[in-house]
Structure 1
Amino acid sequence: MLNMSISVAQQFAPSIENIEPLGNGYINDTYLVSTSTKPFVVQKINKHVFTNPEQIMANLEVLNQHIVQANNPQITLKIPRLLQTQSQQNYFRDEQDDCWRALTYIENSESLEAIRNLADAEQVGLALGQFHRLTRMLDAEKLHDTLPGFHITPGYLRHYKQVKSSTKIPEDVFCADFIARYQSINNDLEMAKEQGLLTTYVIHGDPKLNNFLFDKDTRKIISIIDLDTVKPGLIHYDIGDCLRSCCHDTITDQFNLEVCRALLTCYLEEMGELFSGNDYQFVYPAIRLIPFELGIRFYTDYLEGNRYFKVTEPEENLRRALGQFRLCANIIAQESDIKGIIKQLA
């Protein structure tokens, strides 16, 4: 793989000094490439997940053009730019038909796996709010849906039931019971959209904590990355996923209320008048839904033999699912407190 990544990197720059793995994403393979001038990032797009990788590049082009045209000095968030190959293409296909692309590298930055303090949470809320504010005037119809069905929980539930009926892998009693008990929440956001209570805009799609880059010196967020899932959708999926990632104590599977308050406070201050009364109404359902949805996805992948998410051993996706379901249970137990925070901020 390393030899292949070197040869691929040379499609974007003639002289390569070093290549090292970057990040720990579940989907794409990512490398940091050092050259005699500026470093850059090379990624292999997972063709089993993104069947039309050209659409990802097209979306990123549209997003970058919108940012340039917006020219809003109040928005400090940087978005990685696509780098062309030496033959002036936005991506490169190798002999195995794998699709590779290069992006600018945000220097002197770091990603986090866990919130260090409430200031980090405030930064995440500010950055997500800036992203949603920045893209609010971008027509979502200009973007391809790079992952049809992504964040459509009823579809994940249907797929789980299909897999459950045919898998040879023994079911986990806790996971099966939890899904059966709470499956009625699966349509909360999609029903609100159908009823006209929530509107489709541009979403990031995967705003978990380690997709925000912090400046190493100032500890302020300077970029949001992993833009493959940018697409039309409900911003509540972003809000719920961001809070799931940042507020989850992975040791106890508890939902941290203080991190939730800090993050939401800064997010809503940034969004201001763009956040409607209906939007506030569905924040709690989004917070509750996303760990339930992700738990279903992890558990279904486990029952299918781990086809989607990267694993290091067969039961890793089962453990991931258990963690998400326990988090969801804790969110449900703290419903009144979470709703109280949202009411105070409305």
Structure 2
Amino acid sequence: MQNEIELILSIAKHFRTEGAIVQAYRYGSGHINDTYRLDTAPEGGTSYLLQRINRFIFPDAQNLMENVDLVCRHLQTKLAHLGKKEVQRKTLTIIPTHTNQLFYKDTNGESWRMFWLIENTHSVDVVTTKMQAYAAGIAFGSFQRELADLDAKKIHVVLPRFHDIEHRLENLHKALRAHPKGRAKEEAVEVLLREIASRETAMCQDFLQRIVSASPLRIIHNDTKFNNVLLDRDDQPQCVIDLDTVMPGYVAFDFGDAIRTIINRGREDERDLNKVKLNVPLYEAYVKGYLEKAGAFLSDGEIESLLYGVYLLPFMQVVRFLTDYIEYDPYYKTQFSNHNLVRAQAQFKLLTELESQRDKLRSIIQHAITS
């Protein structure tokens, strides 16, 4: 641990920080990048977040950081009327290196970046109140609205076909061919594979096509888990974070991904599937907040497509978690041997719960639009 902290402190010296860094430690619960909090002297001074970018998932750190920088600067311009201090709470602020680069690459080929830490905020893995769900809707609806006039052609596609279900299914079938034995032969895996196969055609030819035909390409977040919204002490939305996946896409993708984390009474990796139940009041609160901010710029077709995202994104996450499990966990960080299988099973249970409440979920969207 000591060697790790020494490394972090040595990396931090390459960035334009204020004050002497006196403390460094691991921070957050992200699945992909390694994150550290850095505190400076004197006490109460500026703090920072230092991240090691996962080079296996994001091999082109330059394009990745150009995207993040472009989005942050655009948001900062749109919010400039709020004043500098408020803007720093509403958007991420990149700390450049001493050579004015957006990231630093060390001698081992690892890429590091730094952000100004937004103090007195927190993120939540499981939504527990309607206020939190409403706040998330406000945050992601505002995020899409503020980026609606940014040219999507300026954004690098750092993860091609990221929300393409056909691509995700292709990867699953490749994994099965590459690993025909081992985990692929486990009974629990075979059960999920049968359920996935029974829904493939509908998801690809019905749900996805309806989203694409009804929607223009917009700049979206692509990873709208609830813990990617920072809240203040009163659970009011402050900032949307984790911008690595910001790319052109369809608003239904962001909507569906948010709903799968907000409506679930259980955790994303819940072992007890009886706890994976729908919290419809939280769904209703999110829809209200989201459409308050995004409803004015969305087309009727896009609004109609939102519900398709509610089913497509959990299904896609089942496929992704199961693929990672079959391939022995190269993508998502795991804490135990069958962690990705547990995640896949929990997501599938969530999908079946959503399928049983389709009419109710549709009516809530329609009511929010007309009220």
Query: Is the TM-score greater than 0.5?
Result: yes
Alignment of structure 1 residues 216-227 onto 2, 5 Å: 216=233, 218-227=234-243
Partner of 1:173: 190
Alignment match of 2:168 (pick from 156, 163, 166)? 156
Is the partner of 2:90 in helix, strand or coil?
A: coil
Partner of 2:13: 10
Alignment match of 1:48 (pick from 43, 56, 62)? 56
Per-residue deviation, 1:72: 6.5
> Contact 1:163/1:300 (CA < 8 Å) preserved in 2?
yes
Residues 1:320 and 2:343 are matched in the alignment: yes
The normalised TM-score by structure 1 is 0.95
Is the partner of 1:273 in helix, strand or coil?
A: coil
Partner of 2:253: 237
Partner of 2:155: 143
Partner of 2:297: 274
Structure 1 runs of 4+ aligned residues shifted over 6 Å read 74-77
Residues 1:122 and 2:157 are matched in the alignment: no
From the superposition, tell whether residues 297 and 341 of structure 1 become closer, same or farther in structure 2 (CA, over 3 Å).
Answer: same
Per-residue deviation, 1:173: 2.6
> Contact 1:185/1:289 (CA < 8 Å) preserved in 2?
no
* Counterpart residue identity of residue 6, structure 1: L
Per-residue deviation, 1:189: 5.2
d(CA) in 2 for partners of 1:306, 1:281: 36
Instruction: Point out where structure 2 has 5 or more consecutive residues left out of the alignment.
Output: none
From the superposition, tell whether residues 127 and 110 of structure 1 become closer, same or farther in structure 2 (CA, over 3 Å).
Answer: same
> Contact 2:94/2:115 (CA < 8 Å) preserved in 1?
yes
Alignment of structure 1 residues 234-313 onto 2, 5 Å: 234-250=250-266, 252-313=275-336
Per-residue deviation, 1:73: 4.8
> Contact 2:76/2:91 (CA < 8 Å) preserved in 1?
no
* Counterpart residue identity of residue 210, structure 2: A
Partner of 1:99: 111
What is the count of residue pairs matched by the alignment?
A: 344
Between the aligned residues of both structures, percent identity stands at 28
Instruction: Point out where structure 1 has 5 or more consecutive residues left out of the alignment.
Output: none
d(CA) in 2 for partners of 1:120, 1:247: 12
Residues 1:132 and 2:144 are matched in the alignment: yes
> Contact 1:40/1:105 (CA < 8 Å) preserved in 2?
yes
Partner of 2:209: 191
Give deviations 1:137-156, integer Å, cap 9, x for gaps: 11111111121121111100
Residues 1:33 and 2:38 are matched in the alignment: yes
Partner of 1:210: 227
Per-residue deviation, 1:87: 2.6
> Contact 1:136/1:202 (CA < 8 Å) preserved in 2?
yes
Per-residue deviation, 1:162: 1.7
d(CA) in 2 for partners of 1:59, 1:189: 29
d(CA) in 1 for partners of 2:23, 2:209: 50
> Contact 1:128/1:267 (CA < 8 Å) preserved in 2?
yes
> Contact 1:186/1:293 (CA < 8 Å) preserved in 2?
no
Per-residue deviation, 1:6: 1.8
Residues 1:84 and 2:96 are matched in the alignment: yes
Deviation larger for 185-194 or 242-251: 185-194
